[in-house]
């Protein structure tokens, strides 16, 4: 909208999503300045991080969590902001409900006080996470101040192998460029392998853009995008739809666009991936051996060995066959209906390993409802899995779903940081298929053995 | 929330020679439940600082009397991970005013600047020399001059210029923030909205 000399640009925000954890201080700041929300109809709120995933009809037992959820309700009421509260049919993880309600549309600027806002880039929108001060800016003025990012294009052509999913693509990319390789960049994902992904797969990829340090990532909108959006609750209708389509189709990147950095990979080189360390860049092909650290510089070594020590893993050993205590399927990375379909399809007619505790958590109320309607829940239950209620759950352990100290979890979420899934918890990030294989065998298992 | 004006700082440093310090380590998620900005310093680096029974871990630098000061010096890629601004608040609330590293995660850097915490990005070489000096000589003083954009290790005289966006610099020096600015251009924003809806 405006570029300050030698400073950031003022960016107008079309859609602002809000959850209970990062917003209370922003609302307080607004009130401290005696301001009202400038454009309340462009903000939508839902509680997700803190909510329990069982007995959601009961009051939240953790008093601090309850106070944040109550505060969100109070702030939304006071400022006339639409809230999909607990038990509302649209409640869910903020990055799951935005797309499924058609709130996320191509060409929009979308922000949320949450780093995984990058998810919405799957629709060709400019979407990224912001801090609480910036939430306050959006509430006060519908704008934020942003320095212009550098641009990176990652092109992936070719056919994915059987058993390789969108999650493996993004874990592969992060392992290639490292957990900080994308810092300062905005990524465009291009090439046939991304075009062939479903919207849900594209969301999984864009979602984890932040895990290589980049603010966001996007994929140009195409027929897949439009088909997904058509008929959704808040998608444009009638002549509005025609008008929107015209605009959306104009959003493709020029063929001669120049990027600050171009990377190219071949889809056929990607295998099912898994992480072994304590940042998402510490990932590898599931059948490979964990690096022994000998190729690292002296400066890199302490962090590497500290990570393996936390994980209680010997360098140079294989991942396959390693014991697994917990399996978590869910989160804004892999908690959508397609993920549940993939998982349920995999375990259908088989039995969960008795030593594994598995939490299968839908990303939203609507996903939950659909999983019931499609009979997935029945399949899961017959295979020995319990199906929980929507929320962030064990992705960040702010609620009751925590992996106990020292235990190993295969998780479809997005972060394997120390303590992310509970104090002392040890996380292996992987796809829903790899999670399913681990749940059936109690060990890290190549999902292709079952395909 | 107006921020504190930043002027020149001269202080001893606290060394944290670890790379990829993510925001989950700076302030674990379970401490994000407060609804105000104050008090997060108590839980800064909680799981590195205290054991399961809330006893201080003696080997962690914040529990050692040897080091103190308002400058935190950390390894590469500081502040990666979640966008929680609580990470910047916790560091500030604990008493730090500057974080020095050879690389910062984007969101953290923004969040820090919005809260009067100055991220100073230095070269790998300078960082290594700085860490070595403060580990060997904990009382070593460092001067951070925002006006001149220079960081100096006073004991050796080694110094380096650092970058900061000139707008952000002005904000920090004057103690005003982006919201003050955005509010001042309210009419422009409304004009833009009209244009957009046509
Ligand atoms: S599912 Fe995890 S990553 Fe996604 S919004 Fe929730 S806590 Fe954040």
Domains of chain A in sequence order: 2-146 (3.30.499.10), 154-221+237-269 (3.40.1060.10), 278-449 (3.30.499.10)
Exposed, middle or buried by CB within 10 Å (0-12, 13-18, 19+), for B21? buried
- Neighbouring-strand partners of residue A18: A45
Q: What is the pTM of this model?
A: 0.90
CA dist list (Å): A175 to A193, A312, A410, A428, B16: 18, 20, 17, 14, 25
User: Per residue in A240-286, pLDDT tens?
Assistant: 999 999 999 999 878 788 999 999 999 999 999 999 999 999 999 99
Q: Which residues pair with A429 in a beta bridge?
A: A411
Split at pLDDT 50, 70, 90, the class of A6 is low
Question: Is a pLDDT exceeding 60 seen at residue A139?
Answer: yes
Mutate to test the interface with B, among A3, A4, A5, A7 (most CBs of B within 10 A): A7
* Average pLDDT of the segment spanning A143-164: 95
Q: Is A161 exposed, middle or buried (0-12, 13-18, 19+ CB in 10 A)?
A: middle
User: Could you give the CA distance from residue A279 to residue A216 in angstroms, rounded to a whole number?
Assistant: 18
User: Can you tell me the mean pLDDT for A205-211?
Assistant: 97
B84 and A21: CB-CB below 8 Å? yes
Backbone torsion region of residue A299, taken as left when φ is above 0, otherwise alpha when ψ lies between -120 and 50, otherwise beta: alpha
Nearest to A13 by CA among A29, A1, A31: A1
Q: Is B107 at the interface with chain A, CB within 8 A?
A: yes
Average pLDDT, chain A: 95
Is the Cβ atom of A21 under 6 angstroms away from ligand 1? no
pLDDT tens per residue, range A49-81? 999 999 998 889 998 899 999 999 999 999 999
Confidence of residue B38 (pLDDT cuts 50, 70, 90): confident
Q: How far apart are CA A403 and CA A407, in angstroms?
A: 7
Of residues A445, A431, A438, A380, the one with CA closest to residue A197? A431
Interface with chain B: mutation pick from A393, A415, A417, highest number of B CBs within 10 Å: A417
Closest CA to A83 of A96, A97, A73, A95: A73
Name the residue of A210, A331, A361, A413 whose CB sits within 8 Å of the most ligand 1 atoms, as the mutation to test its pocket: A331
Q: Which of A56-65, A110-119, B121-130 has the lowest mean pLDDT?
A: A56-65
Please give, rounded to a whole number of angstroms, the shortest distance from the CA of A139 to a CA of chain B: 10
Of B86, B124, B165, the CB nearest to A8: B165
- Distance between CA atoms of residues A123 and A205, nearest Å: 12
What residues of B are in contact with residue A74 (Cβ under 8 Å)?
none
pLDDT (0 to 100) of residue A304: 95
Strands B98-101 and B159-161 turn out to be: unpaired
pLDDT surpasses 80 at B35: no
Question: What is the enclosing helix (H) or strand (E) of B130?
Answer: helix B124-136
CB spacing of B36 vs A71 below 8 angstroms? no
Helix B166-174, helix B106-114: angle, nearest 10: 30
Rounded to whole angstroms, the Cα distance separating A100 from A355 reads 35
Average pLDDT rounded to a whole number, residues A7-15: 91
Percent of residues, chain B, with pLDDT higher than 90:
72
Q: Contact B29/A183, CB-based, under 8 Å?
A: no
Q: Assign residue A360 a region: left if phi > 0, alpha if psi is -120 to 50, beta otherwise?
A: beta
Instruction: State the greatest distance between any 2 C-alpha atoms of chain B, in Å, as a whole number.
Output: 65
CB contact under 8 A, B80 and A180: yes
Q: At what angle do helices A199-207 and A337-347 cross, to 10 degrees?
A: 100
Contact assessment for residue A184 and residue B104, using Cβ atoms and an 8 Å cutoff: no
State whether A419 and B52 contact (CB < 8 Å). Answer: no
- Residue A396 contacts residue B23 (beta carbons within 8 Å): no
Specify the 3-state DSSP secondary structure of B99: strand
Q: Who has greater pLDDT, B30 or B57?
A: B57
Indicate if the pLDDT at residue B34 is higher than 80. Answer: no
Question: How do residues B137-179 score in pLDDT, each as one tens digit?
Answer: 999 999 999 999 999 999 999 999 999 988 889 899 988 888 9
Q: Which tokens is B190 given?
A: 């409304």
Query: What does the pLDDT read at residue A448?
Result: 97
Using the mean position of ligand 1's atoms as its centre, give its distance from the Cα of residue A336 in Å: 13
**Separation of alpha carbons A271 and A446, rounded Å:** 10
Provide the 10 A C-beta neighbour count for residue A349: 7
pLDDT score, position B2: 62
How many whole angstroms separate alpha carbon A439 and alpha carbon A447?
11
Q: Are B79 and B72 in contact (CB under 8 A)?
A: no
Nearest to A65 among B33, B77, B183 (CB): B33
pLDDT digits (tens, 9 = 90+) for B1-16: 567 888 899 999 999 9
Strands (E), chain B: 9-16, 71-74, 98-101, 118-121, 141-145, 150-153, 159-161
| pLDDT value at residue B198 | 66
CA torsion through residues A175, A178, A179, A183, sign: negative
Give the confidence band of A1 by pLDDT, cuts at 50, 70, 90.
confident
> What are the chain A neighbours of B181 within 8 Å (beta carbons)?
145
Confidence at residue A158, expressed as pLDDT on a 0 to 100 scale: 97
Per-residue pLDDT at B4? 81
Q: Give the pLDDT mean for A212-237.
A: 96
> Does B52 touch chain A if contact means CB atoms closer than 8 Å?
yes
For residues A29-35, average pLDDT = 92
Strands A109-112 and A273-275: unpaired
Nearest CA in chain B to A75: B35
A409: closest CA of chain B, how far (Å)? 18
């Amino acid at each position: 909208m405006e570029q300050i000399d030698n400073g950031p640009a003022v960016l107008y925000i079309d859609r602002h999503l809000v959850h209970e954890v990062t917003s209370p201080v922003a609302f307080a700041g607004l009130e401290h300045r005696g301001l009202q929300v400038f454009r309340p109809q462009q903000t939508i709120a839902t509680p997700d991080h803190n909510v329990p995933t069982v007995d959601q009809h009961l009051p939240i037992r953790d008093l601090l969590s309850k106070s944040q959820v109550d505060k969100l309700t109070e702030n939304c009421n006071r400022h006339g902001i639409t809230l999909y509260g607990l038990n509302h049919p649209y409640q869910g993880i903020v990055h799951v409900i935005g797309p499924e309600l058609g709130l996320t549309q191509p060409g929009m600027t979308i922000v949320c006080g949450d780093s995984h806002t990058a998810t919405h880039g799957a629709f060709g929108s400019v979407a990224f996470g912001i801090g609480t001060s910036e939430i306050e800016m959006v509430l006060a003025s519908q704008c934020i101040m942003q320095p212009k990012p550098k641009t990176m294009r990652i092109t992936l052509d070719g056919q994915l192998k059987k058993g390789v999913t969108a999650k493996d693509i993004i874990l592969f990319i992060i392992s290639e460029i490292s957990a900080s390789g994308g810092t300062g960049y905005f990524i465009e994902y291009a090439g046939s392998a991304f075009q062939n992904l479903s919207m849900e797969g594209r969301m999984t990829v864009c979602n984890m853009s932040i895990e290589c340090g980049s603010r966001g990532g996007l994929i140009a909108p195409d027929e897949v995008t439009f088909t997904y959006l058509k008929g959704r609750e808040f998608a444009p209708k009638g002549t509005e739809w025609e008008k929107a389509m015209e605009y959306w189709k104009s959003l493709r990147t020029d063929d001669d666009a120049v990027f600050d950095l171009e990377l190219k990979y071949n889809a056929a080189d990607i295998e099912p991936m898994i992480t072994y360390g304590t940042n998402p860049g510490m990932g590898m092909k599931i059948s490979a051996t964990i690096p022994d650290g000998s190729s690292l510089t002296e400066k890199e070594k302490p962090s590497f060995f500290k990570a393996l020590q936390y994980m209680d893993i010997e360098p140079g050993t294989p991942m396959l066959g390693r014991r697994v205590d917990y399996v978590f399927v869910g989160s804004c990375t892999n908690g959508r209906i397609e993920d549940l379909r993939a998982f349920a399809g995999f375990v259908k007619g088989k039995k969960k390993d008795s030593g594994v505790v598995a939490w299968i958590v839908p990303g939203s109320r609507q996903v939950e409802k659909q999983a019931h309607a499609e009979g997935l829940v029945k399949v899961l239950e017959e295979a020995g899995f319990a199906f929980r209620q929507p929320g962030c759950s064990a992705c960040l352990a702010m609620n009751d779903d925590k992996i106990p100290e020292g235990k190993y979890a295969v998780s479809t979420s997005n972060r394997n940081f120390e303590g992310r899934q509970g104090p002392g918890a040890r996380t292996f990030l992987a796809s829903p298929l790899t999670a399913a294989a681990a749940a059936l065998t109690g060990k890290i298992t190549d999902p292709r053995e079952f395909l | 929330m107006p921020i504190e004006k930043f002027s020149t700082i001269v202080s001893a440093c606290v060394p944290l020679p670890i790379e990829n310090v993510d925001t989950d380590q700076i302030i674990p998620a379970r401490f994000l439940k407060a609804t105000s900005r104050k008090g997060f310093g108590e839980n800064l680096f909680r799981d590195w600082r205290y054991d399961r029974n809330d006893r201080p871990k003696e080997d962690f630098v914040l529990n050692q009397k040897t080091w103190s000061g308002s400058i935190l010096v950390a390894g590469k890629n500081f502040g990666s991970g979640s966008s929680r601004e609580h990470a910047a608040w916790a560091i500030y609330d604990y008493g730090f005013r500057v974080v020095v590293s050879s690389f910062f995660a984007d969101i953290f850097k923004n969040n820090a600047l919005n809260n009067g915490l100055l991220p100073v990005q230095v070269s790998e070489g300078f960082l290594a020399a700085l860490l070595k000096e403060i580990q060997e000589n904990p009382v070593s003083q460092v001067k951070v001059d925002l006006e001149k954009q220079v960081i100096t290790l006073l004991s050796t005289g080694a110094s380096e210029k650092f970058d900061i966006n000139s707008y952000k610099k002005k904000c920090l020096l004057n103690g005003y923030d982006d919201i003050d600015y955005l509010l001042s251009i309210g009419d422009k924003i409304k004009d833009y909205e009209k244009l957009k809806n046509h």
